[in-house]
Amino acid sequence: MGLYKVSRLMKQAQVTAIRPVKKHRYAGGTVHKIAANLLNRQFNPERPMTHWVGDITSNSQFKTIMVVWFLYFI
């Protein structure tokens, strides 16, 4: 039987396919370490170039973007 004939017969019999749910696989490995909180929410440094913060972002295609700011405002 062809694909279209099977499809037509399934519609006539009101039969639908039950697709299996794909299980999500988590990447195993070591637990990441969390850096110490050295700023303790004190975001107003007295001198320039002493407080630096960064953000690392990755998307699904494994492209990584890193942004670095220094926390000193005049």
Q: What percent of the chain has pLDDT over 90?
A: 16
CA atoms within 13 A on the CB side of 62: 0
What is the pLDDT at residue 61? 67
What is the pLDDT at residue 74? 46
pTM for this model (two decimals): 0.33
Q: What region, left, alpha or beta, does residue 33 occupy, with left being phi > 0 and alpha being psi -120 to 50 degrees?
A: beta
Which residues have CB under 8 Å from 24's CB, separation 6+?
none
pLDDT of 72 higher than 70: no
What average pLDDT does the segment 10-28 reach?
Answer: 85
